Amino acid sequence: MDIMTSVGLVAGIIVVATMMLLGGDLHLFVSEHAIIIIFGGSIDATMIRFPLGVMLHGLPLGAKFAFSMSRLSARDLVDELARIAEIARKQGPVGLEKVETDEPFLAKGIRYIADGYDMEFIRDNLERDRDNFLCHLDEGQKIYRAIGDCAPAFGMIGTLIGMVQMFANMTDPSKLGPFMATALLATLYGAVVANILTLPIADKLHLKLADEEINRTLIIDGILMIRESKSPTLVREMLIAYLPEKHRGEAEPEPVPA
Amino acid sequence: MDIMTSVGLVAGIIVVATMMLLGGDLHLFVSEHAIIIIFGGSIDATMIRFPLGVMLHGLPLGAKFAFSMSRLSARDLVDELARIAEIARKQGPVGLEKVETDEPFLAKGIRYIADGYDMEFIRDNLERDRDNFLCHLDEGQKIYRAIGDCAPAFGMIGTLIGMVQMFANMTDPSKLGPFMATALLATLYGAVVANILTLPIADKLHLKLADEEINRTLIIDGILMIRESKSPTLVREMLIAYLPEKHRGEAEPEPVPA
Amino acid sequence: MDIMTSVGLVAGIIVVATMMLLGGDLHLFVSEHAIIIIFGGSIDATMIRFPLGVMLHGLPLGAKFAFSMSRLSARDLVDELARIAEIARKQGPVGLEKVETDEPFLAKGIRYIADGYDMEFIRDNLERDRDNFLCHLDEGQKIYRAIGDCAPAFGMIGTLIGMVQMFANMTDPSKLGPFMATALLATLYGAVVANILTLPIADKLHLKLADEEINRTLIIDGILMIRESKSPTLVREMLIAYLPEKHRGEAEPEPVPA
Amino acid sequence: MDIMTSVGLVAGIIVVATMMLLGGDLHLFVSEHAIIIIFGGSIDATMIRFPLGVMLHGLPLGAKFAFSMSRLSARDLVDELARIAEIARKQGPVGLEKVETDEPFLAKGIRYIADGYDMEFIRDNLERDRDNFLCHLDEGQKIYRAIGDCAPAFGMIGTLIGMVQMFANMTDPSKLGPFMATALLATLYGAVVANILTLPIADKLHLKLADEEINRTLIIDGILMIRESKSPTLVREMLIAYLPEKHRGEAEPEPVPA
Amino acid sequence: MDIMTSVGLVAGIIVVATMMLLGGDLHLFVSEHAIIIIFGGSIDATMIRFPLGVMLHGLPLGAKFAFSMSRLSARDLVDELARIAEIARKQGPVGLEKVETDEPFLAKGIRYIADGYDMEFIRDNLERDRDNFLCHLDEGQKIYRAIGDCAPAFGMIGTLIGMVQMFANMTDPSKLGPFMATALLATLYGAVVANILTLPIADKLHLKLADEEINRTLIIDGILMIRESKSPTLVREMLIAYLPEKHRGEAEPEPVPA
Per-residue model confidence (pLDDT) at position D73: 81
Report, as an integer, the average pLDDT of D105-119.
Answer: 91
Per-residue model confidence (pLDDT) at position B255: 44
Per-residue model confidence (pLDDT) at position C5: 87
Per-residue model confidence (pLDDT) at position D250: 47
Angle between helices A41-49 and B199-227 (to 10 degrees): 20
- Convert C4-28 into a string of H (helix), E (strand) and C (coil): HHHHHHHHHHHHHHHHHHHCCCCHH
In chain A, residues with a C-beta closer than 8 Å to the C-beta of B246 are: 131-132, 135-136
In chain B, residues with a C-beta closer than 8 Å to the C-beta of C201 are: 48
In chain A, residues with a C-beta closer than 8 Å to the C-beta of B252 are: 125, 128
Do chain C and chain E touch with ≥3 beta carbon pairs under 8 Å?
Answer: yes
Per-residue model confidence (pLDDT) at position A254: 42
List the single residue in D9, D22, D257 with the smallest CB-CB distance to E33: D22
> Are C48 and E20 an interchain contact pair (Cβ–Cβ within 8 Å)?
no
How sure is the predictor about B51, in pLDDT bands with cuts at 50, 70 and 90? confident
Report d(CA E175, CA B193) in Å as an integer.
Answer: 42
Report d(CA B239, CA B221) in Å as an integer.
Answer: 8
Report, as an integer, the average pLDDT of B146-158.
Answer: 94
* Residues of chain A scoring pLDDT < 70: 1, 70-71, 173-174, 244-258
Per-residue model confidence (pLDDT) at position C196: 93
* D48 to chain A: closest CA residue: A5
Mean pLDDT score of chain D, rounded to an integer? 86
Per-residue model confidence (pLDDT) at position E153: 95
Per-residue model confidence (pLDDT) at position A71: 65
> What is the residue type of C207?
L
Task: Count how many Cα atoms sit within 13 Å of the Cα of residue C164 in the half-sphere of its side chain.
Answer: 27
Residue D256 pLDDT exceeds 60: no
- pLDDT tens sequence across B85-131: 999 888 888 888 888 888 889 999 999 999 889 999 999 999 989 98
In chain C, residues with a C-beta closer than 8 Å to the C-beta of B46 are: 8, 200
pTM for this predicted structure:
0.86
DSSP A23: T
Interface partners of D (3+ CB pairs, < 8 Å)? Answer: A, E
- Convert chain B into a string of H (helix), E (strand) and C (coil): CCHHHHHHHHHHHHHHHHHHHHCCCCHHHCCHHHHHHHHHHHHHHHHHHCCHHHHHHHHHHHHHHHHCCCCCCHHHHHHHHHHHHHHHHHHHHHHHHHCCCCCHHHHHHHHHHHCCCCHHHHHHHHHHHHHHHHHHHHHHHHHHHHHHHHHHHHHHHHHHHHHHHHHHCCCCHHHHHHHHHHHHHHHHHHHHHHHHHHHHHHHHHHHHHHHHHHHHHHHHHHHHHHHCCCCHHHHHHHHHHHCCHHHHHHHCCCCCCC
> Are E245 and C132 an interchain contact pair (Cβ–Cβ within 8 Å)?
yes
Report d(CA D42, CA E194) in Å as an integer.
Answer: 28
Per-residue model confidence (pLDDT) at position A210: 87
Residue B242 pLDDT exceeds 90: no
- Rg of chain E over CA atoms, in angstroms? 26
In chain C, residues with a C-beta closer than 8 Å to the C-beta of B48 are: 4-5, 8-9, 12, 66, 196, 200-201, 203-204
C-alpha dist (Å) from residue E29 to A128, C115, C164, E125: 67, 67, 8, 51
Shortest CA distance to A45 belongs to which of B196, C39, B203?
A: B196
List the single residue in E23, E196, E258 with the smallest CB-CB distance to C162: E23
C-alpha dist (Å) from residue C40 to B3, B152, C30, C45, C188: 52, 26, 16, 9, 15
Report, as an integer, the average pLDDT of D20-28.
Answer: 80
> Are A28 and D164 an interchain contact pair (Cβ–Cβ within 8 Å)?
yes
List the single residue in C49, C164, C171 with the smallest CB-CB distance to E185: C164
In chain C, residues with a C-beta closer than 8 Å to the C-beta of B52 are: 3-4
CB pairs under 8 A between A and B: 148
Distance from CA of A14 to the nearest CA of D (A): 9
Report d(CA A68, CA A211) in Å as an integer.
Answer: 13
* Residues of chain C scoring pLDDT < 50: 250-258
Do chain D and chain C touch with ≥3 beta carbon pairs under 8 Å?
Answer: no
* 8 A C-beta contact, residue D171 and residue D96: no
* Residues of chain E scoring pLDDT < 70: 1, 70-71, 173-174, 245-258
Per-residue model confidence (pLDDT) at position A177: 76
Per-residue model confidence (pLDDT) at position C70: 67
How sure is the predictor about B155, in pLDDT bands with cuts at 50, 70 and 90? very high
In chain E, residues with a C-beta closer than 8 Å to the C-beta of D174 are: 170-171
How sure is the predictor about D195, in pLDDT bands with cuts at 50, 70 and 90? very high
Distance from CA of A196 to the nearest CA of B (A): 21
Report d(CA D226, CA E25) in Å as an integer.
Answer: 73
> Are C128 and E203 an interchain contact pair (Cβ–Cβ within 8 Å)?
no
Report d(CA B200, CA B21) in Å as an integer.
Answer: 25
